[in-house]
A and B are shown apart, each in its own frame.
Chain A
């Protein structure tokens, strides 16, 4: 045991083995209980939620089967506006997948200790959002049987191929990055839940914990792997959304003809990713009683980051529209007209006011810089960013390239249904995840707690340990 003043600091115990008899702290016991409780107890509300999500997904499958049988004619997309809700959702989901990268990798790299209770959720959002987002370009295909053509006839000069490679690489990296910090927690589940869970789950925890015993070799390998990936995953994540932006930016369309698009999309992705993690955090905090570990400090810190990105997004918007609007070259006139006063104006002004200005003010004002204020800001940001993706996609295609009337686009019930199914699928996977894995990285939270104890002055540490470890007497 390490010493905190005259007090023995409880050694980090990730073994979770019954044979190991290190004294458990109250903090750690409570942490384990809180983190593992949802894995063994399931209420009626949970089943009801899963059933509701399954019904929505089934309806979406029916809608897709209609599209599959009758073709894209059942959607609102036509020859002029051939990208709509599906590509909007693709960009949206890829955007929120940046939650994991920012919260986990960047904060881990910068050694921001407060990150520990939220990293797991962030990393999982990344993986699920990527998988959901990657489905939508496939749904957008009128002839999905031609998917193999990407491999058969793909050309390395095409941003579509770059996008495919970038997303595949990011998804693989994110899966490994999610799995690595899960290993000690899977070992914890293996030891603590052996008698409370079904045989297949016992098998699952046994196999995927890789026999974790927190030996020095295992510890070294695990930390080495996490360190390697936390550095690598940041440029990979940045490349993904940059390449997504290039699909637009490298197409000859006026509003997309913007060299800033890469940076703009990456900033937007992190912006919406932050909002989604805050929303998930507040839900899980309430449902799983994580108030002790996810405190208002976490919300406020994430709120500061959200505020920073609000400013960055406002700056990008200002820079883009001032430079383009000052010149008003070519089709800019039409684009500005449709965006600011034309048919897309409600979308644009909702995004500008509801998605940037109001969230910025909510975070800026001290009296709204609390959990409620930050959650409201996050909901607005998420809605605003969805709307932004929608008008970016549609406005670019709406501009006539020849002297014909501007096309119009309105999603049909098929598109709305598939979108609902996509959101339900995203929620369902997260709902199932929280029944299989601890949603907070218990070992990282425990380590951070102990590190904080070490940093404290002696008398404070003693008070803390006494409070958390009644069995340790000074």
Chain B
């Protein structure tokens, strides 16, 4: 009986160990090459195509890997990074981003592969020079009432403040009335 139990326990232990060992990836992750291709300059508001290609150490394309495109930004004294896109590589190991630059100047573009159980992480960077000064946002055209515009706001405010002014003038007339009726009064009157 004891022997039978020992045999069964040995079998269960062996199966467990085998399962664990089978689950552990064999060997270290492989280095990969991440290439990036994009024009070095573009016009403000134009569409820039950023092509990335991920290959393993043997030069074979890595399919189904997630790559991201990001750029560092500074806004009102706060530094951070903005995610411009996130794609998965195709069977050729390629991912093609479309990016529309929203400000002029030199914009650093970075593509990044975070790595996985098979491959090491990788990153590639380049700079994009953006030029131009066109207005990018488009105002939504609403209902235009002829003759009605922003002038309404200052006009209303002007009427109110002018009325205040007339009341202030009345205050000065109150003070002046005393000086006329009681010329010997001291003070403001």
Interface of A toward B, CB cutoff 8 Å: 156, 162, 165, 169, 172-173, 176, 180, 183, 206-207, 210-213, 215, 217-218, 221-222, 224-225, 228-229, 232, 236
Contact = CB atoms under 8 A, between A and B. Distances in A.
Contact of B178 (A180, A207, A215, A228): A215
A162 B150 CA distance: 12
A218 B150 CA distance: 39
A40 B173 CA distance: 31
B41 to A, nearest CB: 31
Given A211-B182, A215-B178, A221 B187 contact: no
Interface of B: 150, 153, 157, 160-161, 163-164, 166-168, 170-171, 173-175, 177-182, 185-189
B188 A211 contact: yes
B178 A176 contact: no
21 contacts: A156-B150, A156-B153, A169-B161, A173-B160, A176-B167, A206-B187, A210-B171, A210-B178, A211-B174, A211-B187, A212-B174, A213-B189, A217-B173, A217-B174, A221-B171, A221-B177, A225-B171, A228-B163, A228-B167, A232-B163, A236-B160
Contact of A217 (B160, B166, B181): B181
Given A156-B153, A228-B163, A176 B177 contact: no
B189 A210 contact: yes
Contacts of B174: 183, 210-212, 217-218, 221-222
Given A207-B187, A218-B174, A222-B170, A213 B181 contact: yes
Contact of B189 (A173, A211, A225, A232): A211
A346 B175 CA distance: 56
A162 B167 CA distance: 24
B157 A165 contact: yes
Contacts, number: 76
A207 B187 CA distance: 6
A213 B170 contact: no
Contact of A169 (B160, B171, B178, B188): B160
Nearest to B189: A211
B140 to A, nearest CB: 12
B188 A206 contact: yes
Contacts of B153: 156, 162, 165
Contacts of B173: 217, 221
B177 A215 contact: yes
Contact of B177 (A162, A206, A218, A228): A218
User: In this complex, which of A156, A162, A211, A224 has the most chain B Cβ atoms within 10 angstroms of its Cβ?
Assistant: A211
A447 B181 CA distance: 24
Nearest to A224: B170
A224 B182 CA distance: 22
Contacts of B187: 206-207, 211
Contacts of A221: 170-171, 173-174, 177
A222 B173 CA distance: 9
Nearest to B156: A239
Contacts of A156: 150, 153
Contact of A211 (B161, B164, B168, B175): B175
A62 to B, nearest CB: 27
Contacts of B185: 211
A173 B170 CA distance: 14
